[in-house]
């Protein structure tokens, strides 16, 4: 996989997830007891945290943004399992989260190598 393809996948998943969460919780199927505003306030901020670094192509931001995707994976997988009515909505969320996860992981790895960044191994201290 090339660095550019990984970046495109990451940004496609990222942008798709932002739009999908807003569309899903704001219009398609807002939560009946909590309201669209609450659901958007609960889900969207997590996605906007890495925006600046991801748009700038910072491999470090792409690497740690993978952790911010986990609630979306859990949410989608839970709904796939328990809610037949929203299964297709959860499948779209899972697809975008997966694209973002794969793209971010590969982009951080490949771009980090290009820049000479690495996680340093602990040297054998001889103990």
Q: How sure is the predictor about 1, in pLDDT bands with cuts at 50, 70 and 90?
A: confident
Is residue 38 within 8 Å of 56, Cβ to Cβ?
no
Coil, strand or helix at 93? helix
Q: Which sequence spans correspond to the domains of the chain?
A: 3-115
Query: What are the pLDDT digits (tens) for 88-105?
Result: 999 999 999 999 999 999
pLDDT over 80 (residue 37): no
pLDDT tens-digit map of 41-59: 777 788 889 999 999 999 9
Nearest residue to 7 (alpha-carbon basis) of 107, 95, 109, 97: 107
């Amino acid at each position: 996989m090339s660095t550019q393809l990984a970046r495109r996948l990451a940004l496609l998943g990222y942008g798709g997830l932002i739009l999908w969460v807003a569309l899903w919780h704001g219009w398609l199927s807002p939560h009946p007891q909590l309201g669209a505003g609450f659901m958007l306030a609960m889900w969207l901020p997590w996605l906007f945290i890495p925006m600046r670094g991801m748009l700038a192509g910072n491999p470090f931001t792409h690497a740690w943004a993978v952790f911010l995707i986990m609630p979306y994976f859990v949410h989608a997988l839970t709904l796939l399992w328990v809610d037949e009515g929203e299964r297709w909505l959860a499948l779209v969320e899972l697809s975008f989260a997966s694209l973002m996860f794969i793209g971010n992981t590969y982009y951080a790895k490949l771009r980090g190598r290009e820049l000479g960044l690495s996680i340093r191994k602990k040297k054998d201290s001889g103990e």
